[in-house]
Amino acid sequence: MVAKVDSAAVQDGFQLYLHGFIVTDDGHWVVVQQGMNGQLRQARRYHWLSEGLKSFVDEPHAAIEGPVQGEIVNLTDHRAEQSRRMQLELLGVLGPDGIARELSKIADCDAMPDAGREPMLPHLDLPAHHDVRAGDVVTKRLYGNLAAAADRGPTDFPELLLTPGVGPRTVQALAMVAEVVHGAPYRFTDPARFSFAHGGKDRHPFPVPVRVYDETIRVLKSAVRSSKLGREEELGALKRLDEQARLLEQKASGPSVEELIANERDRSHAYEGRSVFGWALPPEPSRVKTLPGRQTPREMKLQTSAPSALKRGAALSY
């Protein structure tokens, strides 16, 4: 009972993991249980004594020891007595099936188009599976990002493209970063799409392209520093990337999500792809499949060793 109370009636962000129950020969008892907040790396201890206990749900604790964390949900507070009573009445009036129906109405309201309901607070629903699948991505937005990178990249980021194979890929990442910076909440309904910017350390959807990741950070730092000095060129370029992506996504098309992921994994080693499993290795020659308008790892390797003038020209052609 005390475990149920401290895990359900007291909702303070601490999950119970230790439960000590001591009983004396004459029937008195003590419960000391401890909860852990992994994010804060802090513990909280809950003390119960049978002596003087009048109710398990109304001010039952002898003490709760731990740092103050602000307001919590505490249905054992004496001031919550009316809330506890109304919950019982609601269950008695509606019954379990009635409560399920009311919850279903709320869920149906959440599923209505934006025009048919009140604005909601930002929220995020994640699927049970971990890998990125086609159903997790609004492909027209992804295609818009890729098309904007190819279209606006050579115009807005010429200096980024001095290194073939890295510059264009970095602009792809920046196109998605620009959407996060300038986008509206409704555009974040498929957060898995943004993993195509810099991959994942667990290789989902592909290893982190370290060179692209570092270059993206460099550009953003430079943009912020320049804006503080009154120079808005780089921030303006990011905004134009996002605007172009929104224009293009209505008509842009491309390969399937599975093909995009496979292609990124094949090219991963060229961008110093890395995951918790180690550095990405070049694919077997028989597995290499080049998507339209993309470079094979072999072509990028040849261009990387070319003279600087050739390198810039080859990259800008992308």
Mean predicted lDDT score pLDDT of the chain:
78
Contacts of 2 (CB under 8 A, 6+ apart): 31, 33, 46, 48, 56, 60
pLDDT at residue number 110: 59
In a domain, residue 154? The reply is yes
Tell whether 54 and 186 lie within a shared domain.
no
Residues 65 and 85 in one domain: no
Query: Within this chain, do residues 104 and 234 fall inside the same structural domain, yes or no?
Result: no
- The pLDDT of residue 296 is 40
Please give the full DSSP string across 83-120, using - where no structure is assigned: HHHHHHHHHHHHHHHHHHHHHHHHHHHHHS-GGGS---
Distance CA 313, CA 318 (A): 9
Residue finishing a domain among 76, 92, 126: 76
pLDDT at res. 199: 93
pLDDT at residue number 166: 52
Query: What is the C-alpha to C-alpha distance for residues 91 and 93, in angstroms, rounded to an integer?
Result: 6
- For residue 32, being part of any structural domain is answered with yes
Asked if residue 284 and residue 247 are part of one domain, the reply reads yes
Number of structural domains (the chain) is: 3
Say if residue 183 is in the same domain as residue 305: yes
Same-domain status, 310 and 194: yes
pLDDT digits (tens, 9 = 90+) for 241-275: 888 888 888 788 888 889 999 999 999 998 999 99
pLDDT of 124 reads: 57
Per residue in 186-217, pLDDT tens? 677 778 888 999 999 999 999 999 999 998 88
pLDDT value for 235: 81
Residue 254 CB neighbours (<10 A): 17
What is the four-CA torsion angle of 92, 93, 97, 100, rounded to 10 degrees? -100
Give the pLDDT of residue 300.
34
In this predicted structure, what is the pLDDT of residue 315? 34
- pLDDT computed for residue 304 by the predictor: 31
Instruction: Indicate whether 188 and 300 sit together in one domain.
Output: yes
Q: Is residue 58 over pLDDT 60?
A: yes
Percent of the chain at pLDDT above 70? 79
239 and 180 together in one domain: yes
Q: Is residue 124 part of a domain?
A: no
Band of residue 101 on the pLDDT scale cut at 50, 70, 90:
confident
Strand 278-279 and strand 10-11: the pairing is unpaired
- Domain housing 87: 81-116
Residue 179 has a pLDDT of 85
**Judgement on whether residues 147 and 287 belong to the same structural domain of the protein:** yes
Confidence of residue 318 (pLDDT cuts 50, 70, 90): very low
Residue 122 belongs to a domain: no
Residue 239 lies in a domain: yes
Within-domain flag for 123? no
pTM comes to: 0.48
Pairing of strands 15-23, 42-49: unpaired
pLDDT at 35: 92
Is 125 a domain residue?
no
pLDDT band at 297 (very low <50, low <70, confident <90, very high): very low
Do 51 and 181 fall within a single domain?
Answer: no
Q: Are residues 286 and 181 in the same domain?
A: yes
Residue 29 lies inside a defined structural domain of this protein: yes
Provide the terminal-to-terminal Cα distance of the chain, rounded to the nearest Å. Answer: 66
Question: Are 278 and 306 within one domain?
Answer: yes
